[in-house]
Amino acid sequence: MSQTSAGDQKYFLPRAGLEPLVGILRQRGYTVLAPTRRDEIIALAPVESADQIARGVHDHQDGGRYRLTQADPEVMFEYGPGADSPKRYLFPPELPLVELRVRGNRFIPTSQPPAIAQYAFLGIRACELAAIKVQDRVFGLEGQDTLCADAAEYYRRTRRRALLIAVNCTRPGGTCFCASMGTGPAATEGFDLSLTELRDGFLLTVGSQAGAALGAELDLRAPTSAEEGLAEMKLAAARAHMPRHLDTRGLKERLEQTIDDPNWERVAARCLSCGNCTMVCPTCFCFTVSDSSGLTDGVYGRTRRWESCFSHQFSYVAGSGPVRSTIAARYRHWLRHKLCTWQDQFGVSGCVGCGRCITWCPVGIDLTEEAQRLGRHVPGAGAVPIPKAGGTKEALP
Amino acid sequence: MLAKSPIPKVPPKSRLAVFKFSSCDGCQLSLLNLEEHLLELVDAVEVAYFLEARRRELPPPYDVGLVEGSISTPHEAQRIRQVRRDCRYLVAIGACASSGGIQALRNWADIGDFVGAVYPNPQYIRTLDTATPIAAHVFVDFELRGCPVNHAQLLELVSALLVGRRPNVPTSSLCLECKRRGLPCVLVTHGQPCLGPAVQAGCGALCPACNRGCYGCFGPMEQPNLNSLGDRFLELGASHRQIKHLLRMFNAYLEPFKQASDHHERLEQQK
Amino acid sequence: MIQHVADMDYRPPPGMGGWLPVEATIVNIQPENFNTRTFTLRFVDESLCESYRFEPGQFNMLFVPGVGEAAISISSSPYQIGALDHTIRMVGAVTRGIDRIGVGGIVGVRGPFGRGWPLHKLAGKDVIIVGGGIGLAPLRPLIHWLLRHREQCRRVVLLYGCRSPEDRLYAAELEAWSGRSDLDVLVTVDNADEHWTGPVGVVTNLLRRIKVNAEQTVVFVCGPRVLNRAAAWNFLQLHVPPAQVYVSLERNMNCGFGRCGHCQYGKHFVCRDGPVFCFADIADIFAKEEI
């Protein structure tokens, strides 16, 4: 490959070319993060070889249910995203921010700023690219918001160094609705390279200068028109078989009118307020900075942790207590933020349609169903029946 | 749980006392198991009364009193009042002290039957009909949950009191800790009943990390929705009896668990 | 999309936007009532004393090492250079911690954050300021500013309510303000003592004592939630346009710049888009519970 300019160039990467790709990335100092099979889930984890990438496995996702089954050992990426997303690495669940001592009338920092890792994400999905784009806005990657310059430094620096190699979804997971949100199943922007899995290799698309430079080191050939056609067909089929759907037409305007909707109470009867949805959501960004101190060493620490708006103490105001004291209020806040007020704040929807909040909700509350039901209440018409959580009956171990 | 009273700042070398009531000593052992931090702790505070660790007893008053165990005898019911008077800041540590513990299971039975079955001469046994948490008897300033308490939370409590910070002891669900660690959810991936979504965080998701469901030794979280979680367990194939047993363990007598376990007991008997 | 902070006048000076707060010495503590004190802070770094500016209504995050941070309104005059007043009610670990540090000790400061009172909306208007309890604290810089720029607006009225005469904040200053001809001050208390000769009752009762020229009036409210609601409602009933009613809200704030999510209020981050809101911008959620 001789061209190095970014653009919509398509190539064919043979299956065996994945191993050299991992090798080159590692040589360049990247920590390669790819979907791996751990216990009974697909988890994004560092890999040293392409062999460690999960393959020959299908996932089965439904409300509150996630199972893996064996599949053709040759197929690689025929599973949807697991609970983890790149958020874990770009916006870590726990990050020590600063440690300090008090000397006279000065605070003396005793720690270095957190080290900035160099990540190459291999095999992330279109919805995850979209989620990264959302968090780029939240943490002000473009830098127009200088107010939190220092405070969002870790995200910005890690993000700028990260390489994104996407895999287009040819087999959507059971709770996916990316087609509704306009984020998938194929990656259209924001990647360095994207792959579409075919029988004996991948159709590779270059999305950036960095991606082109990387492609130049790979053993690529031009794709045949049959290969390009097959990739198109696979993605069209995935789009057509998207298991869930969210009608986004007028959704924001409808949700704006739902503060007094009786359905919040109905969801609250099922919602555990456990916060799983917010932890697995690839765009949720809430955090708490908490302070600590050593017993005797006089060192004070400040640590940032993922926090959930479902926790009762989240909105606690000293002297007057929590603002959102009921589960209904917290669910309302989360859903309206995700699908409605997020757009006011960041100019983009907070939902990318990955379906994680549905799969990992212990009782299988379905965001797409709840959002459809809201704002349609006709007084006296009786409520819409709530379907039970997904998942079949299983014997206790 | 949250502080019930303002957080004091105790001066360095404050006097710490540790008291034992009806319990297994496991929480006191957690204190001794702090290993490298134990020396720091002894440096930071004066251990004035801690019979499990040292014979020397300094007289009251104490700045901070840690109380392990539930109140299950008439003598204990008397003694806890004196302990309260002796301590400026009283902390109940562990499931027994904060909920009555596993021995509170007798609150559902006739204590006379137990005593008669176990002891050849039951007339010498003086015991109360119930085992109850410390807070049922005296005002408690703070509680640390768990069976046993978590090392990190014990250290956090002491270091927080030394600077006057509200101890960073979350009251939210265990799921938040579990997910921050990136553990696979045993309920979603195995269909295993796990109390995590209704249980207070603090242990660092020990059981889910070993592929086991949480059995709630940290007790109920701030606003547990046990109705919905119970329904989910039933869908997963658990029986009312199994759910009742899951709830009636270390924190059986703590209110939301007590009510929910009674509910499942009634449904079990109706069948 | 909400306009970001780029158009805000006062933002943290360089070095004050990160997670390591800058040091300030407590130079004075003035008791206000049984649980409220005014702390005067002076930056240890002299150059900051000169360069630090804020607009009335903004707040700082005050930091006690090892204890935490609390969002506290700046309550001194914007023209008082080098020393910042913060009036604090001792209700949490951080606020008690600041009290414990005492005169001569140091606390950390990040700020200023948020949007203050819209000073550019006052020209040629009547200004009615409504404060309740500690809500007078963020209004005090505004009053100082108004007294400096008195010629810009017409009448200025301060309506203040608190529990009892002893609970009044800035008692001496209130007395001095009462004596001025260019400022009308009305103070009411819930519980009077034998020396109190002023009105008794809730602060909104004071509205009966003043003439409101609705179209020409701008209203600034800061107090507990019930007061904010009652006052806003009363002025709207008097046909003051919603775009001329401003309310300062209190929320749990952790980061101060609209990222941590704690203080969200509908589509707003109170720490970034507030704490001062125009009623017209929050009319859809202002009367709702648990937003």
- Range list of β-strands (E), B21-80: 45-50, 62-68
Residue with tokens 């874990």: A88
Mean pLDDT of chain B, nearest integer? 93
pLDDT of A305 strictly over 90: yes
Would you say C168 and C131 are in contact if contact means Cβ atoms under 8 Å apart? no
CA distance C37 to C32: 5
pLDDT value, residue A140: 82
**Other CB atoms within 10 A of residue A337 CB:** 23
Would you call A394 and B198 a contact, using CB atoms and an 8 Å cutoff? no
CA distance A21 to C270: 47
Helix (H) or strand (E) holding A206: strand A201-206
CA distance B141 to chain C (A): 14
Is the four-CA dihedral A123, A124, A126, A129 of positive or negative sign? negative
Would you call A362 and B229 a contact, using CB atoms and an 8 Å cutoff? yes
Delimit the CATH 3.40.50.700 region(s) of chain B: 14-163
Q: Choosing among A147, A257, A292, A338, which should be mutated to test the C contact, i.e. which has the most C CBs within 10 A?
A: A147
**Other CB atoms within 10 A of residue C47 CB:** 9
CA distance B2 to B143: 8
pLDDT value, residue C236: 93
- % of chain C residues with pLDDT over 90: 80
Query: What is the average per-residue pLDDT within A19-31?
Result: 96
Would you call B165 and C67 a contact, using CB atoms and an 8 Å cutoff? yes
Alpha carbon distance, N-terminus to C-terminus of chain C: 20
Is the four-CA dihedral A133, A138, A143, A149 of positive or negative sign? negative
pLDDT of A67 strictly over 50: yes
Query: What is the average per-residue pLDDT within B164-183?
Result: 95
CA distance B241 to chain A (A): 12
Q: State how beta strands A57-62 and A65-70 pair.
A: antiparallel
Would you say C12 and C113 are in contact if contact means Cβ atoms under 8 Å apart? yes
Would you call C96 and B6 a contact, using CB atoms and an 8 Å cutoff? yes
For residue B167, the chain A residue with the least C-alpha distance is A292
Would you say B251 and B219 are in contact if contact means Cβ atoms under 8 Å apart? yes
Helix (H) or strand (E) holding C232: helix C225-237
Does residue A216 belong to the interface with chain C, where contact is any CB pair within 8 Å? Answer: no
Would you say C52 and C13 are in contact if contact means Cβ atoms under 8 Å apart? yes
Chain A CB contacts of C21 below 8 Å: 107
Would you say A282 and A131 are in contact if contact means Cβ atoms under 8 Å apart? yes
In total, the C-beta contacts within 8 angstroms joining chain A to chain C are 146
Chain A CB contacts of B160 below 8 Å: 293
Query: Of the candidates C4, C19, C260, which has its C-beta nearest A97's C-beta?
Result: C19
Would you call A360 and B37 a contact, using CB atoms and an 8 Å cutoff? no
Query: What is the average per-residue pLDDT within C227-246?
Result: 94
Is the four-CA dihedral C14, C17, C20, C24 of positive or negative sign? positive
Over residues A265-297, the pLDDT tens digits come to 999 999 999 999 999 999 999 999 999 999 988
Does residue C42 belong to the interface with chain A, where contact is any CB pair within 8 Å? Answer: no
Q: Choosing among A65, A85, A274, A306, which should be mutated to test the B contact, i.e. which has the most B CBs within 10 A?
A: A274
CA distance C66 to chain B (A): 7
pLDDT value, residue A114: 83
Does residue C96 belong to the interface with chain B, where contact is any CB pair within 8 Å? Answer: yes
Over residues C59-100, the pLDDT tens digits come to 999 999 999 999 999 999 999 988 999 999 998 899 999 999
pLDDT of A395 strictly over 90: no
Would you say B149 and B218 are in contact if contact means Cβ atoms under 8 Å apart? no
pLDDT of A396 strictly over 50: no
pLDDT of B48 strictly over 50: yes
* Closest to A130 (Cα-Cα) out of A164, A154, A98, A99: A164
pLDDT value, residue A115: 86
Does residue A10 belong to the interface with chain B, where contact is any CB pair within 8 Å? Answer: no
Over residues B89-134, the pLDDT tens digits come to 999 999 999 999 999 999 999 999 999 999 999 989 899 999 999 9
Mean pLDDT of chain C, nearest integer? 91
pLDDT of A383 strictly over 60: no
* Closest to A139 (Cα-Cα) out of A237, A270, A293, A283: A283
Would you call B164 and C65 a contact, using CB atoms and an 8 Å cutoff? no
In total, the C-beta contacts within 8 angstroms joining chain B to chain C are 25
A256: tokens are 């704006």
* Closest to A302 (Cα-Cα) out of C108, C276, B103, C52: C108
CA distance A62 to A297: 50
| Sheet containing A300-306: order of strands | A106-109, A94-103, A300-306, A287-293
Q: Which of residues 347-376 of A touch C (CB under 8 A)?
A: 347
Query: What is the average per-residue pLDDT within A195-223?
Result: 94
pLDDT of A321 strictly over 70: yes
Helices (H), chain A: 18-27, 87-90, 126-138, 153-161, 178-181, 209-216, 225-240, 251-256, 263-270, 276-280, 327-336, 342-346, 356-359, 367-373
Residue with tokens 């996702």: A61
Over residues C41-57, the pLDDT tens digits come to 999 999 988 889 999 99
Taken as a whole, chain B contains a residue count of 271
Mean pLDDT of chain A, nearest integer? 89
Over residues A328-346, the pLDDT tens digits come to 999 999 999 999 999 999 9
pLDDT of C173 strictly over 80: yes
pLDDT value, residue A375: 83
A219: tokens are 């053993």
- The topology under which CATH files domain B14-163 is Rossmann fold (3.40.50)
Chain B CB contacts of A395 below 8 Å: 237
A392 band by pLDDT with thresholds 50, 70 and 90? very low
Between A389 and A252, name the one with better pLDDT: A252
Q: Does residue A185 have a cis peptide bond before it, meaning omega lies within 30 degrees of 0?
A: yes
For residue B156, the chain C residue with the least C-alpha distance is C66
CATH number of C119-248: 3.40.50.80
- Range list of β-strands (E), A39-145: 41-46, 57-62, 65-70, 94-103, 106-109, 119-124
Would you say C7 and C120 are in contact if contact means Cβ atoms under 8 Å apart? no
What is the domain partition of chain C in residue ranges? Answer: 3-113, 119-248
CATH number of C3-113: 2.40.30.10
CA distance B111 to A251: 61
In total, the C-beta contacts within 8 angstroms joining chain A to chain B are 160
* Closest to A291 (Cα-Cα) out of C25, B171, C108: C108
pLDDT of C14 strictly over 80: no
Task: Give SS3 for B14.
Answer: strand
Chain B CB contacts of A81 below 8 Å: none
CA distance B234 to B225: 15
B194: tokens are 């796990």
Chain A CB contacts of B194 below 8 Å: 362
Beta bridge partners of B173: B200
